Structure formats: structure tokens, C-alpha cells
Structure 1
Amino acid sequence: MTKPTYVQEYTAIVDVLNQYNEGGKQANSSIMKPAFSEQATIFGVDADAKLVGGAIQGLFDTIDGPLFRPSPEAQGVIVSIDIVGTAASARVDTNDISGFCFTDFFNLLKVENQWTVVSKIYHTHVAG
């Protein structure tokens, strides 16, 4: 019987997701960039119900842009992580990132022994 590695894998994925959360909280993409594959994508639906997104650089540009500012009051929680071998998915809910609230769904792969986000889709909650 092989030694179970689930706890180690789970902890490694939490570390990756925490890089994302901290980068958003500090409005600094350089903190979150290591969490993502250079080939990662991001997609969501805008206020007109249109698909928006593309290369992950769009997220970094937004985080570093004028709409986002450091948000020490921001709160994020990892709602779930599902791991199967070298593939995983995760849900993160975040409140008060520059006045926005998001639900993010991440797909991760373990590449060269490191977990990396390869895609992110998101929902922006209506303030209210």
C-alpha cells in the first residue's frame, strides 16, 4: 500500500490559492503570478451577458490597474478543493476586493511536481 498524499497535495494547492488571494488583497499581480501557468486563461460574463476574458495577463493588468487598490479588509475563503491525481479544481469566494465580491473557479494541474492554475472562471456578485 502506498502512503496517501492527499493532505500534502491539498496543502500545496491551498498555498497556490493563497498567492492569488494575497495578490488581490494587496492589488499586486506580482504576488499572484507564480500561482498561474504562463498559458492560463480567465473568463467571465460581463453586465451585458457577454463572454469576456482570454489570456491570464488580462487579470494581472486589471489587478495592477486603476480600479483595484489594496484592500486589507478583504476576506477570502477556499470553499472546496477536489483532487484527482495530477488534476484539481477549487472554488474561492472573496468579499471586498476593491469593493467587489467574486466567486472564482480554478482548474489546476500538477506540472513538474508543482501545482499551477491553468484556468480561472469567475462570477462578479452584484453589490447590495
Structure 2
Amino acid sequence: MSEEQAIRAVVHLYVDGMAFANEPALRKALHPRADIIGNYQGAVEWMTRDEFITAIVEEGSAPPGTIPFMEIELIDIEGDAACVKVVDEFAGMKFSDYLSLVKIGGRWSIVNKVYHLHR
């Protein structure tokens, strides 16, 4: 598997984890020290991975058979660091997510997410 394919697999795991409130998938995609940051409902939202996962699980899963919307617009890889821009939908809202990934122990992991909520 190429580095790009491995990164795409992590991004798919992340988007599917959000869509279906899949805590194990999100824990696998996101590094334990990952931060999730963006403007939400007029205020800066700054969460740890665990706070983010709790919020996703509380929102609940998309209906079975749903195909999550995901459009990877950019993947930039330099050695063991990468940046991905992905447009996705969650709970009826559209986001642009800017994901920073680092290859740690031979596996890509999302270490930071900065998002924009489209209006």
C-alpha cells in the first residue's frame, strides 16, 4: 500500500467513525493527544480527542445503509508528515476539515483537526 493509500484509509476510517458514531474507528484514526479546533455556533470549540469522540457518540449514528459524504480535496505528503483537506457532512452540517497526520510507529495518525463549518 502506498503512503497516499494508507492516508486515505485513515481519512475514510475517520469519516465513517463520525457518520456511524463508531468510537473504536475514531480512536484508531485519531492520535490520543489530537486536538479538534474550529468555530462552532459563534464560539471557538477546542476539544481533545476524547471530548470529540464523546460528542460524536452522543449525536448518534447515521441510519444504516447511509453512504457518508466525503470528498478529499488535497493530500500533501512530505516524509512522515501529511496534510489532508476533506469536505464531509455530519449531523446535517457540511464541514471542511484540515487534518494533520504524522506517521508514528509505521502507522498514519490524525494529530490535529481544524475545521470550518459551512453556512
Amino acid at match of 2:95: F
Structure 1: which amino acid aligns with 2:116? H
2:24 is aligned to 30
Which protein has the larger Cα radius of gyration, Structure 1 or Structure 2?
1
Q: How far did 1:69 drift?
A: 3.1
Match of 1:11 among 5, 28, 39: 5
**Which residue of structure 2 aligns with residue 62 of structure 1?**
55
Question: 1:125 maps to which residue?
Answer: 118
Task: Using the aligned pairs only, state the percent identity.
Answer: 27
The Cα shift of 1:14 comes to 0.4
Cross-structure match for 2:33: 39
**1:63-103 CA deviation, whole Å, 9 max, x = no partner?**
100x34315153111111100001000011013x2211111
Which ranges of structure 2 fall in alignment gaps of 5 or more residues? none
Distance 2:67 2:101 in 1: 27
- Normalising by structure 2, report the TM-score: 0.89
Structure 1: unaligned runs, 5 residues or longer:
1-6
- Give the one of 85, 90, 102 matched to 1:91: 85
Q: Does 1:105 align with 2:98?
A: yes
Count of matched residue pairs: 117
Matched residue type, 1:124 = L
